[in-house]
Amino acid sequence: MPPDTGHYEIESERLLGVLGDRVRTLRAHRRMTRKVLARDSGVSERYLAQLEHGQGNISVVLLARVAAALRTEPSDLLQTRERQTAEEVLIADLLRELSPDTHKAFLQILSENFSVPVESRRRIALIGLRGAGKTSQGKLLAGHLDIPFVHLGGEIEKLAGMSASEIFSLSGQTGYRRLEEKALMQTLKRYDRCVVETGGSIVTDPKLLNTLLTTCFVVWLYARPEEYMRRLTEEGDVRPMENLSDAMSDLRRILSERDELYSKAHASIDTSDKSIDECVAELIQLTPKGINNNMTELVEA
């Protein structure tokens, strides 16, 4: 008995309809005639007419050309929402025109004025690679402020009822990330004031990074690659030393890949050649004043 493909056909028709509406709406927003869009994209007017009426089974290559002519991304044309307000279109256009550095300031303005209540800044999230000092400094900072310290990795293992290595073995990166999101959301719901130690790779998930930036005061703790390696060795983690050359190369690559993501933090501290007490003192100076009633005394002390 052949499989029932009716559902897929209906979904395909819906997707093509949404795509056609998006192309037509964006073309109108840009005040482009179909003739101009055809000229700029190299796609015929006849084909564009079919596309806008939900009848064009367009290829990825042609879709990319149409998107480029409309000054947008192919993914924007394929979004599943059937309607987008004019304001959303304008905001998306504005973001595309801004530089990456300006995006951070733009997000900060939105967060402070629209989406983030004042009390959310009473949470502190520490980000950075393993060996940066998140655990030791986070516990001391939480003790100074008399607020809870949350090791997010531990919360993830509690949810799963197994170790992180077992989670990765059974569910992979996707399963771990799903648990990480759940653990973070539960932590934010449970505590209006706390210090959260996050995993080193949390910044690679855009949704989780944005959640941290909009609900916490985020501090990036970092060090020189050689310092990371020394600390890991002193902690008894000999794995990086099995092949020092390869380990250092991998570490530098990871730092390079994540540097832009980590730098989105509200503040950062270079922990190289500093004692834990010195780093904690810097953290206290950076911490928003409203996080604890004794904050002023702590800073002065």
Q: What does the block give as tokens for 154?
A: 């531990």
- Whether pLDDT at 276 is above 70: yes
- Whether pLDDT at 108 is above 90: no
124 forms beta bridges with 195, 217
Q: What is the pLDDT of residue 232?
A: 78
Long-range contacts of 282-286 (CB under 8 A, 24+ apart): 283/124, 283/137, 283/141, 283/219, 284/141, 284/144, 286/217, 286/219
Residue 150, H or E segment:
strand 149-151
What's the chain's length in residues?
301
Mean of pLDDT values over 233-238: 66
DSSP state of 115: I
Three-state secondary structure call for residue 151 = strand
> Contact 167/176 with Cβ under 8 angstroms?
yes
CATH numbers and ranges of domains, the chain = 6-95 (1.10.260.40), 101-300 (3.40.50.300)
Cα–Cα distances in angstroms (integers) from residue 212 to residues 121, 152, 190, in the given order: 10, 12, 15
> Rounded CA gap, 193 and 183, in Å?
16
> Rounded CA gap, 155 and 206, in Å?
20
- Mean pLDDT is lowest, of 78-87, 201-210, 211-220, 224-233, for 78-87
197 forms beta bridges with 126, 151
Q: What is the pLDDT of residue 288?
A: 79
- Whether pLDDT at 241 is above 70: no
Band (279; pLDDT cuts 50, 70, 90): very high
Each residue's pLDDT tens digit, 126-154: 999 888 899 999 999 999 999 999 999 99
Each residue's pLDDT tens digit, 2-37: 555 566 677 778 888 888 888 888 888 788 999 999
